[in-house]
Amino acid sequence: MPLYTYVISFKGSTHVAQSSHSNFYGFINWIETIPNLSPALRQELAHKAYRGEFSALENKKHVWKKSIEFNGNELIVHAIQTQT
């Protein structure tokens, strides 16, 4: 299975997670890298993370981006296939 690196930008901070899965969009372990979320907010983010689509970045291979409105802020997730 490919290894994916997730770079998450939220409220001026950057967080990084890695995991191996069959695809990059069906798994949301990267949520655990965001500190100071209450269980309720973590659950809300999980629900939002499964909605919408990642879009491929133009002129980049194996790089996708997703923007999520969360808790009054924009959360951006970049998924990068870093190993096959």
Report the pLDDT value the prediction gives residue 29, as an integer from 0 to 100: 87
Report the pLDDT value the prediction gives residue 1, as an integer from 0 to 100: 87
Report the pLDDT value the prediction gives residue 24, as an integer from 0 to 100: 82
CA 15/CA 7 separation, integer angstroms: 6
**Domain locations in the chain?**
3-83
49-70 burial, b if ≥16 CB within 10 A, otherwise e?
A: beeeebeeeeeeeebbebebeb
Could you tell me the pTM of the whole model?
0.88
Report the pLDDT value the prediction gives residue 52, as an integer from 0 to 100: 84
Direct distance between the N- and C-terminal alpha carbons of the chain, in angstroms, rounded to an integer: 6
The encoded tokens of residue 35 equal 């500190």
Q: Which residues pair with 4 in a beta bridge?
A: 19, 81
pLDDT digits (tens, 9 = 90+) for 40-67: 999 999 999 998 899 999 999 999 999 9
Q: Which residue has the tokens 């995991």?
A: 19
Q: What is the mean pLDDT of residues 5-21?
A: 95
